[in-house]
Amino acid sequence: MKICHVVGARPNFMKVAPVLRVLRGYAGVDQFVVHTGQHYDFNMSDVFFQQLEVAPPDVNLQVGSGSHAQQTAEIMTRFEPVVLQRRPDLVLVYGDVNSTVAAALVCAKLGIAVGHVEAGLRSFDRSMPEEINRLVTDQLADLLFTPSEDGNANLVREGVSPEKVHLAGNVMIDTLVRMLPAARQTVTADVPERFVLVTLHRPSNVDDSEWLDELLEALAGIGQETPVLFPVHPRTRQQLGARGKSLAGARGIRLMDPLPYLQFLGLQTRATVVVTDSGGIQEETTFLGVPCLTVRENTERPVTVTMGTNLLVGRDLQKLCDEVERALNGSGRKKSVVPPLWDGHAAERIAAVIVGEAVAAIAQG
């Protein structure tokens, strides 16, 4: 059985690593990895493969940046010849980035089976490009691996055949569990005892210049009381640079380059509170029991709110500041329980389904 794994952005890399590792243990499984090059900066891409102990991708499409339409179309154009040449039996796509939907579309038109890892997540906000990617990919996929029960419910409501859907758990937590001891060792002596960790990259936050200015002013105000560590995503830095905006002089805010996975995970383990708009970080903070304030009006990972440490603050800057203060004084939201199947074994369940499906197909002739 030949399996192609398609990745393109840093969240994909944490998800593919455990699946690759587990499938290597099955006889008769041949694997190769296609990196679309959607994220091409070293700190957003290459270093992740190194830290996760994953071999360099077998194919790099080197697509680079562009509009959603340009990037999706370019991935499809460059991915199709790879599929036609290598003829995988199954293509596994991960998450909700443009690489995910582009590869799924190519395979659907060529009649090649698609498996979607992290299927069924919904924000119910179609203004988010990622939501469109999720919806389309899940309609095209032949195997859908969900991280939580709400994913199953969403897919049933959308008419996806239950036979295709498998509750596998959160594969990103597999990587977190495995790498956590090493991540803790990366925290250096200059990291403050108490600090706010910030990440921002979504267009709804960084492409709206007026809102971004207000948000940065609020963070600067927080930084006057408590250190703020802010690894700046390339998209965010580009938006700031385009307007000649800088936080370099803001007291209490430490601007940083994008961090490799281990270093950022290490900071998460030590943070007093995390302010983010990232879906994956909502999950990681829930597992770690670290308070998380999400600068969005909705989330495709509601289990992090109902069971975890996540709180949506939307565009309410007063709420953001108040909740940061509550976290700092110990009265903020506490961890309840880790969601079911976020146990470090999701990749094993995914691999068992894939191999079982292949055996069943052979038996049927």
Q: Which residues are catalytic?
A: 201
The CB density around residue 157, as the number of other CB atoms within 10 Å, is 10
Q: What is the C-alpha end-to-end distance of the chain, expressed in Å?
A: 15
Strand 273-276 and strand 292-294: the pairing is: parallel
User: Are the C-beta atoms of 97 and 11 separated by less than 8 Å?
Assistant: yes
User: Are the C-beta atoms of 4 and 32 separated by less than 8 Å?
Assistant: yes
Any idea what DSSP says for residue 190? T
Strand 143-146 and strand 228-231: the pairing is: unpaired
Q: Report the C-alpha gap between 287 and 284 in whole angstroms.
A: 5
Q: Which two tokens stand for residue 177?
A: 């569990």
- Cβ neighbors of 67 (< 8 A, separation 6 or more) are none
Q: Where are the alpha helices (DSSP H) in the chain?
A: 10-23, 46-51, 68-86, 98-110, 129-140, 149-157, 171-184, 203-206, 209-223, 234-242, 261-270, 279-288, 303-306, 317-328, 346-363
- Cβ neighbors of 245 (< 8 A, separation 6 or more) are 212, 213, 216, 239
The label of the residue with tokens 């390339």 reads 234
- Cβ neighbors of 50 (< 8 A, separation 6 or more) are none
- Give the burial class of 24: count Cβ atoms within 10 A of its Cβ; 0-12 exposed, 13-18 middle, 19 or more buried: exposed
User: Are the C-beta atoms of 143 and 166 separated by less than 8 Å?
Assistant: yes
| DSSP collapsed to 3 states, 26-72 | CCCCEEEEEECCCCCCHHHCHHHHHHCCCCCCCEECCCCCCCHHHHH
